[in-house]
């Protein structure tokens, strides 16, 4: 079943496919929001630049470009309330469930049309790809994965981009190096920022049998969280892990998870962030944090700077 789901999701987000369409997808959005920032001398890069790019580019790739930014933003905040409802608070769950019902109502007619008339949207690929002649996946089968995409896929590239910029702005020597050789160093900065502040904190699972880890036995049927943020700071691999350093050569981080459910959107996320950052760097001769103290990070399961107030020319 999982293999079947991934064979619908993967085609649109395969690295070569992504490389072919990413700039066309991201640059018009980057241009529009960057112009607004520049005209007002700066603003909050999180809400005024990275978040719109992250939300709109994923929505357009999915084939939901007709849904407006505020609705999409409301969707992922609502879904997130359910995803991090570890306390099982019924009020928060009710908000998440209402949003989930609203999404089903809006995307079902879109998918019904795509069943009849396929196109190159990710939703269309999710319904049709790798299926026997004349068969499609059902809407009910595709919907839960679509909601995973609408939550993590929509929010986290924006979060990751913010942390990368925070690392660069707080280390001006590294920012200057990236500006001097963006083709070589921007991709390094992207992965170092995702390691430094891992946007999704955990992979949660349930044990199917008793298991011993590090001398401790976890009984069967217990919830377990693999803390990705901690793995990305493991001292056995990373020297001085709290330091942002684009020149690290210490192997890969854990931000995109491990195992069968390894992030399906990792190439899309990396390239979207790279395009958005490249546009920002190339079109902002001067960019600096406003003098309102060190950047504050917030969130446990979803972590990012709470704001990135900058002046920009
Ligand atoms: C920086 C941004 C992102 C980060 C840090 C991230 C991280 C992750 C992680 C840790 C997982 C594993 C979750 C688990 O096993 O419990 C995951 C799964 C997934 N991600 Fe991402 N993600 C990002 C962006 C995206 C984007 C842009 C998309 C869509 C284009 C996407 C689509 C998915 C999907 C579909 C899964 C589930 C895969 C499966 O179950 O086989 N992600 N992601």
Query: How many other C-beta atoms are found inside a 10 Å radius of the C-beta of residue 154?
Result: 25
> Looking at residue 276, what is its pLDDT?
98
Given the CA of residue 228, which atom of ligand 1 is nearest to it? 10
**pLDDT (tens digit, 9 = 90+) per residue, 159-193?**
999 999 999 999 999 999 999 999 999 999 999 99
Question: Which of these CATH numbers, 3.30.2290.10, 1.10.630.10, 1.20.1440.230, 3.55.30.10, describes 2-312?
Answer: 1.10.630.10
| DSSP secondary structure string for all residues of 195-232 | HHT-SB-EEEEE-SS-EEETTEEEPTT-EEEEEHHHHT
Kindly report, residue by residue over 35-78, the tens digit of the pLDDT.
Answer: 999 999 999 999 999 999 999 999 999 999 999 999 999 998 89
Please indicate whether residue 268, judged by its CB atom, sits closer than 6 Å to ligand 1. Answer: yes
Q: Is the CB of 126 under 6 A from ligand 1?
A: no
With a 6 Å cutoff on the Cβ, whether 103 touches ligand 1 is no
C-alpha to C-alpha distance for 45 and 129, rounded to whole angstroms:
37
The stretch 139-150 carries a mean pLDDT of 94
Cβ of 203 closer than 6 Å to ligand 1, yes or no, is yes
For a mutational test of ligand 1's pocket, the pick from 9, 152, 205, i.e. the residue with the most ligand atoms closer than 8 A to its C-beta, is 152
| CA 145 to ligand 1: nearest atom | 35
Spatial distance between the Cα atoms of 289 and 304, rounded to a whole number of angstroms: 16
Own/partner long-range contacts of 201-209 (Cβ < 8 Å, ≥24 apart): 201/227, 201/228, 201/229, 201/299, 201/300, 201/301, 201/302, 201/303, 202/226, 202/227, 202/228, 202/229, 202/301, 203/228, 203/257, 203/258, 203/259, 203/261
Residue 198 CA: which ligand 1 atom is closest? 5
Find out whether the beta carbon of 302 lies less than 6 Å from any atom of ligand 1. no
């Amino acid at each position: 079943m999982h293999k079947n789901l991934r064979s619908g999701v993967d085609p649109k987000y395969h690295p070569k496919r992504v490389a072919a369409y990413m700039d066309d997808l991201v640059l018009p959005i980057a241009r529009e929001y960057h112009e607004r920032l520049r005209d007002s001398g700066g603003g909050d890069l999180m809400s005024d630049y990275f978040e719109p790019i992250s939300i709109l580019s994923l929505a357009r790739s999915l084939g939901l470009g007709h849904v407006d930014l505020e609705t999409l933003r409301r969707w992922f905040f609502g879904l997130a309330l359910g995803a991090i409802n570890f306390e099982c608070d019924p009020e928060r769950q009710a908000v998440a469930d209402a949003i989930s019902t609203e999404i089903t109502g809006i995307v079902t007619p879109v998918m019904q049309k795509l069943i009849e008339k396929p196109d190159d949207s990710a939703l269309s690929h999710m319904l049709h790809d790798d299926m026997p002649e004349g068969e499609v996946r059902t809407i009910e089968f595709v919907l839960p994965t679509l909601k995973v995409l609408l939550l993590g896929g929509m929010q986290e590239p924006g979060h990751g981009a913010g942390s990368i910029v925070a690392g660069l702005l707080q280390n001006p020597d590294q920012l200057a190096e990236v500006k001097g050789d963006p083709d070589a160093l921007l991709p390094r900065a992207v992965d170092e920022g995702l390691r430094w502040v891992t946007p999704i904190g955990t992979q949660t699972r349930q044990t199917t049998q008793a298991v011993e880890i590090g001398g401790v036995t976890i009984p069967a049927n217990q919830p377990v969280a693999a803390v990705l943020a901690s793995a990305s700071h493991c001292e056995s691999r990373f020297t001085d892990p709290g330091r942002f350093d684009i020149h690290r050569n210490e192997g890969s981080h854990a931000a995109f998870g491990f195992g069968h459910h390894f992030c399906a959107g990792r190439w899309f996320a990396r390239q979207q962030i790279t395009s958005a950052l490249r546009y920002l760097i190339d079109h902002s001769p001067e960019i600096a944090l406003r003098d309102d103290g060190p950047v504050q990070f917030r969130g446990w399961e979803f972590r990012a700077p709470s704001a990135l107030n900058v002046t920009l020319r």
